[in-house]
Chains A and B, each alone.
Chain A
């Protein structure tokens, strides 16, 4: 009896979340820079909408798993993820087609960001370049092929195939070998041959930053969003501009299907895409803008993936190619690289 009572009391205590404000928007975002987002985006939005934002953070695989698990009664109203993750959710019919007329800032976005996965099921809100960070005092990087060069043996890290950066690195290594298709089997094989020379296949840029700062690794491909961590280090790091150019990726916003909170979600997405917020977010060095009207100083721009010229030069891997081929890549990777 005692047990039942205490359980009952407990379930009351656990239900307190339900007593929050009437209007609540639950969003699912990457876990980095939450304090800065709060200031630039969440707090001002809560003020405008008179609602509560519940922010779910985590890495994308966990967050996607949760969206899928709650497909019938979505907990998450909108989420920001990579374009290929968005496409994979869309193929599982978990994503609502957007009515872009409800996004007043939609036309201000770079063309590539307006409908990145087709069917208006996502809009891009940030671009990032991806290149190689290296120690200028120890090596010189002119090509993506340098990653597997003898000189770097034992001091290089590559992104894991399961993350977003992994396929981008494969693409650029293939380009360096003169291969423009998405058949990466020979690239994976050559990574496999060099597996012992590679310190680790990292999965988080934070992990890479720690490894490079403790001089474990002297060169590795990484997204531009992580650059500020290297820039501020006492060690001499540089951002490579390889002959094959830089790879690029885009993160997008999606709305979950049937979440019942569409109006608020549109309002939030539109606000995030507005020149005002995109500028604030860019100036806080969190995300590079996808809104063409954003203007930032050269100093700020140096930390970002900024400007039409750069964005149009990036090699972007088609999200559909990633999803269609990933199983094959991972399979071969597991047999030849991780062994």
Chain B
């Protein structure tokens, strides 16, 4: 046989063993820490964690912001991707480059900018007061809105990229055909575009949701101690209280949340068929 199995394993296993020993094993031990007690296996760590109102609030807030960020990114992403796909080839390349650009910039820098933008004397408040929408500057920093905006800016490119590549696969004449046959834009979107791009939506949605759950800098700098998210709570539990059981619980919650988001999105995508 040309492609010998043993030879193949010899090529693939170093990578797998590396990931297993130096990555999966330590993470696995960390995750198991919350299940261990002096007298065998236990769920006590989880029960204690969810017994605290602050932890429940943080968990729900993380879930809420994750969904909001992914949802908003999808809405804007569809609009932007649709525009990008319909541009001329050269303009498309340039705009696509600008969309990818933020991904190349350190998240420290991107978050840092929002401190200035969202401040009491920042651009957003100047605009709000200038337009007469409010007499006094409104407080934006250290609110969920600030964290939401920071996360959206951080992860929206991933959604747009996924949706653009999905839309490029839609045959060119499908949409005009649907229009000619009398479909309005609303119908075109739900009957034509959405079914044909749902794989891109699943990929983009998972990436953005997972990214929002596991971002550290944005909630740390823009949310502070008043808008804790699971990731900042984990850091605080470890660093302030040396509390590795809570860290292990939060780690498991984050992983389960990312996995379920991916499964759920896939399920929804296949159910629509």
Q: Taking the complex as a whole, does A directly touch B, i.e. does some CB pair lie under 8 Å apart?
A: yes
B-binding segment of A136-144, A176-184, A200-208, A311-319: A200-208
Task: Check B236–A162 contact: CB distance below 8 A.
Answer: yes
Residue from A162, A200, A330 in contact with B226 in the complex, judged by beta carbons closer than 8 Å: A200
Interface pick from B69-77, B112-120, B195-203, B263-271: B112-120
* B14 A3 Cβ-Cβ under 8 A: yes
Chain A nearest CB from B112 CB (Å) reads 10
Contact (Cβ within 8 A) B120 A334:
no
Q: Is the CB of B239 within 8 A of A200?
A: no
Q: Please tell me if the beta carbons of B119 and A335 are within 8 angstroms of each other in the complex.
A: no
- For the complex formed, measure the closest distance between the CB of A241 and the CB atoms of chain B, giving whole angstroms: 27
Given contacts A3-B14, A62-B239, A203-B225, contact A339 B120 (CB under 8 A): no
| B54→A200 contact, CB < 8 A | no
Q: Say if the beta carbon of A214 comes within 8 Å of chain B.
A: yes
Which residue of A160, A195, A203, A334 has the most chain B CB atoms within 10 A of its CB atom?
Answer: A334
Name the distance in Å between A263's Cβ and chain B's nearest Cβ: 32
Collect the chain B residues with CB atoms within 8 Å of residue A202's CB.
224
Collect the chain A residues with CB atoms within 8 Å of residue B130's CB. none
Q: Which of A185-244 contact B (CB under 8 A)?
A: 195, 199-203, 210-211, 214-216
A334 contact set on B, CB distance < 8 A = 52, 54
Answer whether residue B262 sits at the interface, using C-beta atoms and an 8 A cutoff.
Answer: no
* Size category, B interface: 20 to 34
Contact of B224 with A61 in the complex, beta carbons under 8 Å: no
Which residues from A are CB-within-8-Å of B139?
A: 154, 199
* Distance of B65 from chain A, by nearest CB (Å): 16
Within 8 A of B (CB), among A24-73: 61-62, 65, 68
Flag whether A323 is at the interface (Cβ < 8 A). no
Q: How many A-B residue pairs have CB under 8 A?
A: 56
Bound complex: CA of A313 vs CA of B14, how far in Å? 66
| Docked CA distance A65–B120 (Å) | 37
Complex interface: chain B residues within 8 A of A107 (CB): none
Contact with A along B216-251 (1 / 0, CB 8 A): 000000001110100000001011111000000000
Residue A338 is within 8 A (CB to CB) of chain B in the complex: yes
B142 on interface, CB distance cutoff 8 Å: yes
Query: A330–B116 Cα gap in the complex (Å)?
Result: 30
Nearest-neighbour CB distance to chain B for A85, whole angstroms, equals: 11
* Residue pair A201, B224 in contact (C-beta under 8 Å): yes
Minimal Cβ-Cβ distance residue in A for B122: A214
CB distance from B140 to the nearest CB of A (A): 10
- Take A65-B242, A162-B240, A210-B115 as given contacts and tell me if A338 and B121 are in contact as well, using a CB distance cutoff of 8 Å: no
One of A68, A203, A338 near B54 (C-beta < 8 A):
A338
Q: How far is the CA of A134 from the CA of B234 in the complex (A)?
A: 33
B57 part of interface (Cβ distance < 8 Å): yes
Contact B239 A61 (CB under 8 A): yes
Q: Which of B142, B225, B228, B241 has the most CB of A within 10 A?
A: B225
Chain B stretch 21-72: residues in CB contact (< 8 A) with chain A: 52-54, 57
Contact between A215 and B224, CB atoms less than 8 A apart: no
Mask: chain A, 152-163; 1 = CB below 8 Å from B; 0 = not: 001000001010
Q: How far is the CA of A215 from the CA of B115 in the complex (A)?
A: 12
| B242 close to A216 (CB less than 8 A) | no
Residues on the A chain within 8 Å of B239, using CB: 61-62, 65
Query: Across the interface, which residues of B come within 8 angstroms of A200, CB to CB?
Result: 141-142, 224-226
Q: Judging by beta carbons under 8 Å apart, are A335 and B53 in contact?
A: yes
CA distance A334 to B242 in the complex (A): 17
* Residues on the A chain within 8 Å of B225, using CB: 160, 162, 200-201, 203, 338
18 A-B residue pairings within 8 Å (CB atoms): A3-B14, A61-B240, A62-B239, A160-B225, A162-B236, A199-B139, A200-B142, A200-B224, A200-B225, A214-B119, A214-B120, A214-B121, A215-B121, A330-B240, A330-B241, A338-B226, A339-B54, A339-B57
Nearest 10 interchain pairs by C-beta = A200-B142, A334-B54, A61-B239, A200-B224, A201-B225, A214-B119, A162-B240, A160-B225, A216-B120, A215-B121
**Known contacts A162-B236, A162-B240, A201-B225; 4 further A-B pairs (Cβ under 8 A):** A65-B242, A195-B226, A201-B224, A338-B226
